[in-house]
């Protein structure tokens, strides 16, 4: 602190008052991950719904155009657009299923667990394991 005052005097400047910055709020990694997943889900859902709504309007226009022009190319484009629109609808349903699966994470389950417990003395255990009796100390 003394050195800082000397430097201020040397350079003929006034000291800057210290300001305390607020401490950042520490979020757990899981909470942040869940928030990000929810935001991503909402964004993807909104985008797909907008595409479906705009696609329906576009499809109506394409069908009218196809009827008026009666050219095979217009009908082909309308057919392809119907397929694309149905794929987007399927994507929306798949997104909902994935969000549901992410939200209901189940803890890992142990299939079969066999606990082996030996009820006996150390001497009996050594005999069971097949060790020589020379190394066993009896009390």
Q: What tens digit of pLDDT does each residue of 127-136 get?
A: 877 765 555 5
Count, residues in the chain: 139
Mean pLDDT of 80-103: 88
Q: What tens digit of pLDDT does each residue of 48-78 get?
A: 999 999 999 999 998 898 889 888 898 899 8
User: What is the greatest pairwise CA distance in the chain?
Assistant: 106
pTM above 0.75, yes or no: no
Confidence class of residue 11 from pLDDT cuts 50, 70 and 90? confident
What CATH superfamily is the domain 31-104? ESAT-6-like (1.10.287.1060)
Taking a C-beta distance cutoff of 8 angstroms, is the pair 52, 89 a contact? Answer: yes
* Planar angle of CA 11, 17, 22, nearest 5 degrees: 140
**How far is it, in rounded angstroms, from Cα 86 to Cα 72?**
21
């Amino acid at each position: 602190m003394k050195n800082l005052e000397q430097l201020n005097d040397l350079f003929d400047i006034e000291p800057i008052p210290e300001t305390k910055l607020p401490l950042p709020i520490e979020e757990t990694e899981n909470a942040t991950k869940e928030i990000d997943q929810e935001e991503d889900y909402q964004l993807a859902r909104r985008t797909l719904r907008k595409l479906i709504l705009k696609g329906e309007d576009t499809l109506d226009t394409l069908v009218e155009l196809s009827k008026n022009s009666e050219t095979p190319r217009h009908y082909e484009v309308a057919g392809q657009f119907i397929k694309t629109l149905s794929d987007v609808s399927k994507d929306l349903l798949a997104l909902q299923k994935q969000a549901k699966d992410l939200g209901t994470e189940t803890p890992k389950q142990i299939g079969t667990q066999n606990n082996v417990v030996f009820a006996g003395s150390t001497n009996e255990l050594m005999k069971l394991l097949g060790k020589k009796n020379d190394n066993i100390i009896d009390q």
